[in-house]
Amino acid sequence: MPKIDAQDIRSRVERINNLPTIPMVLKRLISIVENPSVSLGEISEFISSDPALTTKVLRMVNSPVYGFPGRISSVSQAVVLLGTNVVKGLLFGVSVFDLMQQSMIGLWEHSLGVAILSRLIAKRKGLKEPEEVSVAGLLHDIGKVIFILQLPQEYQKAMDQAEARGITMADAEKDLLDVTHAHVGAWVAQSWRFPANLVDVISYHHRPRLAKNAPEETAIVHLADVLVRARGFGFAGDRFMPSLNQAAWKFLGLSEQHLREILQEMEGSLEASQELVL
């Protein structure tokens, strides 16, 4: 099958908002976050106007993904505690929940696992905003959802090739489509005005050495992605176990003891997050 031109794919990605399959709540969210001066009050009002969205947000905030178990009872409290960037990322995460469930069985679970483990590693590293790293983990594979929405038949062929050849989705995507889900995720993240650090993580979670704006956060999400795959929690589109980037591992400076402790804590968090999979 001839490759689709990368520029054509980018053009399609940047028109993603016009697809009839995009949920209305996501379209409304995009229109809100495109306003650089949007206030926390306006975001809170947007969430509160939709009971289903309110429920999803409060479940997520009180889950191990964000580390406030049972402590946040209102949308306004969540917005104030988490801040603009984290709340925006959280909203995108819960807004694409149904798309993830429909596009690839197991992708939502994989994304949750990476979000949880990213926060645990960020806390261990002493990062000031571990919740922002959690958001990056939750959204790192958003390019796969966009691929499936825009090129469903072609992406299914990429998945089939990954399975048949025992290669990663990124390699199969590059072979068949000339770009990977990381490229596509970065394009849509820029189009939706994600923060520069989040765009960096989405762009380079498979190639952390290239990250410029957020090298530590990117290395963390890369490590979390590999470890969650090794753990077998969820499904990222292929059965192949990617190698850990040694430069990223060295950069993070975690000892084997640190890693054992993080993984032990992760087990309890993954178990507690099962209700978010329903």
167: domain range? 6-277
Domain annotation covers residue 1: no
pLDDT at 227: 95
Most confident of 1-15, 47-61, 130-144: 130-144
Average pLDDT, the chain: 88
Q: Which residues contact 32 (CB under 8 A, 6 or more apart)?
A: 38, 42, 43, 46
Which has more confidence, 155 or 101? Answer: 155
Cα 169–Cα 111–Cα 209 angle in degrees, nearest 5: 60
How many Cβ atoms sit within 10 Å of the Cβ of residue 253? 8
Q: How far apart are CA 11 and CA 261, in angstroms?
A: 44
Q: Which range has highest mean pLDDT (3-12, 26-35, 238-247)?
A: 238-247
Report the predicted TM-score, pTM, of the whole model to 2 decimal places.
0.90
pLDDT band at residue 84 under the 50/70/90 scheme: confident
What are the tens digits of pLDDT across the range 52-71? 889 888 888 888 888 777 78
Q: Is residue 245 part of a domain?
A: yes
* 3-state secondary structure (DSSP) of residue 167: coil
pLDDT over 80 at 1, yes or no: no
In the numeric block, which tokens belong to residue 22?
């995009």
Q: What is the mean pLDDT of residues 155-173?
A: 92
In a domain, 60, yes or no: yes
Residue 98 lies in a domain: yes
pLDDT at 38: 83
Q: How many CB atoms lie within 10 A of CB 40?
A: 14
Cβ contacts of residue 71 below 8 Å, gap of 6+? Answer: 62
pLDDT tens-digit profile of 206-257?
999 999 999 999 999 999 999 999 999 999 988 888 889 999 999 999 998 9
Specify if 72 maps to a domain: yes
Are 101 and 108 in contact, with CB atoms under 8 Å apart?
Answer: yes
Whether 173 and 179 have beta carbons less than 8 Å apart is answered as yes
Residue 218 domain-assigned (yes or no): yes
Residue 62 domain-assigned? yes
Query: What's 266's domain CATH number?
Result: 1.10.3210.10
pLDDT at 4 over 90: no
Angstrom distance (rounded) from CA 3 to CA 176? 6
- CB-based contacts of 215: which residues, under 8 Å, 6+ apart? 208, 251
Mean pLDDT for the stretch of residues 21-42: 82
Domain count across the chain: 1
